[in-house]
Structures are given as structure tokens and as C-alpha cells.
Amino acid sequence: MKKILVLPGDGIGVEVADQTIRVIDHLNTSNNLNVEYEKDLIGGASYDANGEPLTQHVLEKAKQADAILLGAVGGSKWDNVERTKRPEAGLLGLRKELELFANLRPAIVFDALSSSSSLKEEIVKGLDIVIVRELTGGVYFGQPRGIEEYESGKQKAIDTQIYFDYEIDRIARVAFNLARKRNNKVTSVEKANVMETGVLWRKVVKNTHRDFGDVELENMLADNCAMQLVRNPKQFDVLVTDNLFGDLLSDCAAMLTGSLGMLPSASLGAEVEGKTNGMYEPVHGSAPDIAGQNKANPIATILSFSMMLRYSLDQQDLAKIVEDVIQEVLNEGFRTADIYNNDSQTLVSCSKMGDLIIERL
């Protein structure tokens, strides 16, 4: 019996997590999945209930779970909360405490959606790339940071971009190993022309590459990479980059697939207290503007669960079934609002999308 912790979080996180739980229930009864889950609070929901976006209690549960499924955190309701108690701090704390340093964000264009992208169909049709984002270092966590007075009444803000060689080496290894199972090409992205961290990044990746001579390595500056992603995304196979560039480039890659509502992610880690945890979450945020309206697209979260089946629960066959079913539902023309673009399609709600997927499983 595997144990998973479900943290729906805020906004549409709750709705998309609910649909994913229905999928888990279904697979438990009809496919002998044998997974036990528990729900708890994270982000703004946890702050409202406990005054903290991530409680010690939830952190302990997360450490003991075999995997974590997370919805989304954040919302304007918490705009004025101090930074360390903001919903996002809960998510970042979980990533850091569990040492989930490798964030895999695959951007795959389903055939049925190749005309939903804002880019021309021929540019995105058949796209299948993965962004490997470093998740526990860089400017997200670097010290010193803060806003200080430098003269009476005048302020300055400091963030620190910092990378240790071992952090770059271990994320590069994840990317090279992944490329070996795919098309054998890694593009390493930094700004070595401007940043010291970029210079070290390039040097360490080159060094690590010596152990992966069979994989092609290309270095690319981050601004050029942003441009290439919208110009000709199919030139890429695996992209590896730091925490901040990975955040930006993965939103961009997500949109190539038609909608942010389609992109899943897996955050995998080092061993912490004798266990390797994995956390699975959609790339999209809590979308407060549509929260509570049953309009959200649950596919990114259900696909995140299928990544969990693959990487944490050793259920490759079931993962494939879930992915095939999603493809089927899209082929049949069912669309949530974010991917609906013409009247030959059937517009469905979040829970209806859940129904359709479960019916076909």
C-alpha cells in the first residue's frame, strides 16, 4: 500500500485536485491501484487556518508520504501578508525541505490540440520537449536578500543569485539521464555572457557531460532560448536551466501546447531521511479569477498524477492508460474553456472533464 499526501491548496487547486482524487478512487477500485491518500492544507488555505502556509505537521506528513500531489497556491487575498507567510512560501518551503531539486516539466502537444496553440500549427505539431528546472537553489533561495533603507526614507532591494557546483552537477545528471531515454540531446541554458552563475553553470555542465559522451550537449543563452522556443521549439529535446529561467521558460513552453492548463510537472529529489519523495503539481497557478466556478482544466493535474504513477508508484502501464484516455477525450472534441476554440468542439466544465476521463478509464 503506497501513501500519498494530497495538498489541494488555493483557488482552482481545490477543483483540479478533486477531479484527480476521483481518478485515484476509480483506479483503486477498478485497477487495484492500492493507493491510500490523505488530504491536508497548504498555502493560503493553511495560512487562514493555522497562520502558517506550511505547518510542521504537514511537512512531517509530506516526508512520510510516498508522493505528494499538489494543486496550486496563492491569490490576491494574501497580497498583504508578509513574504515568509505568503502562500508561495509554503510551496517553496516544501520544495526546499524535501530537497526536490529536479523539476521536470514536459511540454507535449497533443494532436487534437495542435491548432489550439497561439503559434502556427506546423511549428508546434508533434512537439515533445522537457524542461528540467533546478528547483531548490538560485535566486529563489539565495542569501542575503531583503529590502533595506540605504538613506533615510530611501530603500534598496537585494536578491542573491547563487549556485554551488554540486547543485549544477546533480541537475545536469538528471537532464543527461533523461535525454538518454529520449532523443539524446540536452540544451543547457544560462546567461554566461553576463552572470557569474552562468559561467560556472556552463563549466560544470561541460564537465558533467564527460560522463555522458553519447548525449549531444548544446549551450544557449536564456534570452535566445526564449526566442527559439517560440520560433522553432522542435529543435529541443531536453532543456536544463536554473530556477528562475526555468520558471519563465516553462510558462512559455506550456503555452506552446495550447494552454497552461495542460502542463504537468514532477519534482524529484535527493534522499531525505532515507526516502526519495516526489511532488507532482500542475505548472499553472491558482487562477483566482475562475476559482470556484467549475471552469478549470483538470488535465494538467491528472497528467501530474500520471507522472506520479510513473516515477513514484512504479505503475508505468497505468500511467500510459491515463495518458491515452486523456488523448481520447480530446480527440472526441471535449474541451474545457481554456482549450475551447471552435463550435465543432464540446465545451465542458472541470467536473465534466473528470467524468469523461473516468468513464473511459
The catalytic residue among 10, 47, 66, 191 is 191
Instruction: Look at the block and give the residue holding cell 528562475.
Output: 244
From 52-60, 86-94, 180-188, 234-242, give the range in contact with ligand IPM by CB under 6 A: 86-94
User: What angle, 0 to 180 degrees and rounded to 10, lies between the N-to-C axes of helices 243-256 and 222-231?
Assistant: 10
Please give the sequence-ordered ranges of beta strands (E in DSSP) within the chain, or none if there are none: 2-9, 35-39, 67-72, 102-108, 128-134, 146-151, 154-158, 185-190, 216-221, 238-241, 264-272, 275-282, 334-335, 346-347
Question: Which of the ranges 20-28, 87-95, 271-279, 324-332 carries the binding residues for ligand IPM, by CB under 6 A?
Answer: 87-95
Strands, DSSP E only, in 40-171?
A: 67-72, 102-108, 128-134, 146-151, 154-158
Q: Are 175 and 242 in contact (CB under 8 A)?
A: no
Q: Is the peptide bond before 144 cis (omega within 30 degrees of 0)?
A: yes
Question: Judged by CB under 5 A, does residue 247 bind Mn ion?
Answer: yes
Alpha-carbon distance 116 to 123, whole Å? 12
Closest-CB residue for ligand IPM? 88
Candidates 251, 340, 352, 355; catalytic one: 251
Tell whether residue 44 is a contact of ligand IPM (CB under 6 A).
no
- Determine the interface stretch with ligand IPM among 2-10, 27-35, 84-92, 214-222 (rule: CB under 6 A): 84-92
Q: Name which of residues 262 to 301 contact ligand IPM (CB under 6 A).
A: 283, 285
Catalytic residue from among 10, 18, 140, 338: 140
Specify the residue, 208 or 304, whose C-beta has the smaller distance to Mn ion. 304
Least distance in angstroms from the C-beta of 31 to ligand IPM:
30
Question: Is the separation of the CB atoms in 160 and 123 below 8 Å?
Answer: no
Tell me if 134 contacts Mn ion by CB under 5 A. Answer: no
Q: Is 61 a catalytic residue?
A: no
By the rule CB under 6 A, 88 interacts with ligand IPM:
yes
The stretch near Mn ion (CB under 5 A) out of 174-182, 186-194, 215-223, 240-248 is 240-248
Question: In this structure, are strands 2-9 and 67-72 parallel, antiparallel, or unpaired?
Answer: parallel
Is 144 exposed, middle or buried, given 0-12, 13-18 or 19+ CB atoms closer than 10 A?
A: exposed
88: partner contacted, choices Mn ion, ligand IPM, none (Cβ within 5-8 A by kind): ligand IPM
94 binds ligand IPM (CB under 6 A): no
Stretch that binds ligand IPM, among 32-40, 85-93, 181-189, 332-340 (CB under 6 A): 85-93
CA distances from 309 to 28, 147, 278, 289 (A): 12, 43, 11, 31
The H or E element containing residue 209 is helix 196-209
66 binds, among Mn ion, ligand IPM, none (CB under 5 to 8 A by kind): none
Query: What whole-number distance in Å separates Cα of residue 266 and Cα of residue 241?
Result: 15
Does 11 sit near ligand IPM (CB under 6 A)? no
Q: C-beta of 70: minimal distance to ligand IPM in Å?
A: 9
Q: List the x/- string, 226-265, binding to ligand IPM by CB under 6 A.
A: ---------------------x------------------
Is 317 part of the annotated catalytic residue set? no
Contact letters for ligand IPM, residues 193-232 (x by CB under 6 A): ----------------------------------------
Q: Clarify whether 150 is annotated catalytic.
A: no
38 phi and psi angles, rounded to 5 deg: -135, 145
Q: Identify which of 78, 2, 80 has the alpha carbon closest to the alpha carbon of residue 42.
A: 78
Residue whose C-alpha cell reads 494538467 in the numeric block: 300
Whole-angstrom distance, CA of residue 85 vs CA of residue 255:
30
Q: Which residue in the block uniquely carries the three cell numbers 509530506?
A: 62
Active-site residue flag, 191: yes
Whether 48 is catalytic is no
Quick one: which of 74, 90, 137, 258 contacts ligand IPM (CB under 6 A)?
Answer: 74
Q: List contacts with Mn ion (CB under 5 A).
A: 247
Q: List contacts with ligand IPM (CB under 6 A).
A: 73-74, 88, 91-92, 247, 283, 285
Active-site residues, by number, are: 140, 191, 223, 247, 251
